[in-house]
Amino acid sequence: MNPRGRSGMKIFIAFVTMLAVAAALAAQDMRPAHDDVGYCWNPAAMQKLVEVLESQERESFGRNGLVAGISPHDDYLYAARVYYPLFRALRTKEVVIFGVTHSTVRKEISGLDGIIIFDDFKSWRGLNKPVPASGLREYLKARLDKGLYITNDKAQMIEHSIEAVVPFLQYFNPDVKITPIMVAPMPFGRMEEISARLAAGIADYMSVQHLAAGKDIFFLISADDNHYGQDFDNTKFGEGEQAWDAAREFDQRLIRTYLTGELTSAKVEGLTCELWGKTYLDFQKTLWCGKFSIPFGLLAVEKVISRVSGKRLNGQLFRYSDTYSEGVLPLRKKGLGTTAPFSLRHWVSFSSIGYYAD
């Protein structure tokens, strides 16, 4: 090969290498999907799923004043009917998402206790395009005391509760931006402390950016409810159909008593007492996986809304169900599957609840 040929080849190789490096860096900038079985990342499949849900939907919930909500994060083929009424009513420019820090994450990464967890990804995988991170995330990091939070991309990569809501969120809000926040186990007093600091930062950001709650920014809590059966070592009410009925009534009593109607800090504290047992140290014994994301998220939202408008929050149950009741949605050949079985030995409950500023 002549010198000019060698020179041209070197330039070509350097160019290809540069493209490969740029692609790798771009890939690191976007948080990829962790669960590509239970959740839907294909636009055509998501469209079909929504069409099926719409054909079955018989209820409608108002959008006016809707500023926050609780959503499931179980597999779509199990829980899509419960996701749907909340996201159908949700229209906003950006969303703060409070997610769980599951035990799988805490086993992999030590020291995740008494804090909230941010990430550094510029975007998250979406349906049609990446979902960008909101500027709120860095705004909060710059203003919160370092002992209140950490930034850990690995933790956010392993955790699935936040990514679960992203496809539904982007489907109905194509240009949405998100602020993902994982909530680690912590006592109620610590929740009060961190949520107060966080709410102050969010309220200041809303003021600077001229954002209205519900219209421009929404607060979303990702949480499943009971995990019941022998497989979970949770047979508090026994086994079989009667136990299933009793466990469901337990869930629905918690929802009626603490999560709907006018929201107060006393209700949130009462919920934590029921979910954790007698003390915070008993929290492993209660198998609602939202036992931290729900109370923390509600405390933060209540404080934000109080600061920006002086209004109170009122919760409305949109839908409650479980995997044993729902079974598997009959949507075939769309790339969706289930990541766990359902039976009386292994079932999960979930709910969608909307919070209105009145």
Taking a C-beta distance cutoff of 8 angstroms, is the pair 211, 128 a contact? Answer: no
H helix count then E strand count, the chain:
12, 13
Q: Tell how far CA 61 is from the center of its chain.
A: 20
Domain boundaries, the chain: 32-357
CA distances from 355 to 213, 221, 263 (A): 11, 11, 9
- The count of other CB atoms within 10 Å of the CB of residue 2 is 7
- The count of other CB atoms within 10 Å of the CB of residue 146 is 7
pLDDT at 231: 85
Residue 342 CB-density burial (10 A; 0-12 exposed, 13-18 middle, 19+ buried): buried
Angle subtended by helix axes 265-276 and 293-309, to nearest 10: 170
- Which residue is associated with the tokens 């209105």? 356
pLDDT at 10: 43
Pairwise CA distance, residues 63 & 102, whole Å? 31
CATH dotted code for 32-357: 3.40.830.10
List the pLDDT tens digit at each of the 358 positions of the chain: 554 454 554 444 444 444 443 444 444 699 999 999 999 999 999 999 999 999 999 988 999 999 999 999 999 999 999 999 999 999 999 999 999 999 899 999 999 999 999 999 999 999 989 999 999 999 999 999 999 999 999 999 999 999 999 999 999 999 999 999 999 999 999 999 999 999 999 999 999 999 999 999 999 999 999 999 988 888 989 999 999 999 999 999 999 999 999 999 999 999 998 887 655 555 555 678 899 999 999 999 999 999 999 999 999 999 999 999 999 999 888 889 999 999 999 999 999 999 999 8
Does the reported pTM lie above 0.85?
Answer: yes
Residues in the chain: 358
User: Smallest Cα–Cα separation from 132: which of 82, 170, 88?
Assistant: 170
- What is the DSSP track for 220-249? EEE----EEBGGGTB-TT-SSHHHHHHHHH
pLDDT at 233: 86
Taking a C-beta distance cutoff of 8 angstroms, is the pair 127, 171 a contact? Answer: yes
39 is written with which tokens? 């959740």
Residue 310 CB-density burial (10 A; 0-12 exposed, 13-18 middle, 19+ buried): exposed
What phi and psi values does residue 338 have, to the nearest 5 degrees? -120, 145
CA distances from 3 to 7, 8, 176, 216, 274 (A): 6, 9, 52, 60, 78
- Give the helix ranges, DSSP H, for 159-292: 166-172, 188-209, 241-254, 265-276
Q: Which helix (H) or strand (E) holds 95?
A: strand 94-100
Long-range Cβ contact pairs of 141-150 (< 8 A, separation 24 or more): 143/201, 143/204, 144/197, 144/198, 144/201, 145/197, 147/115, 148/115, 148/116, 148/193, 148/194, 148/197, 148/198, 149/115, 149/116, 149/117, 149/118, 149/194, 150/112, 150/115, 150/117, 150/118
Largest pairwise CA distance in the chain: 84
pLDDT at 25: 41
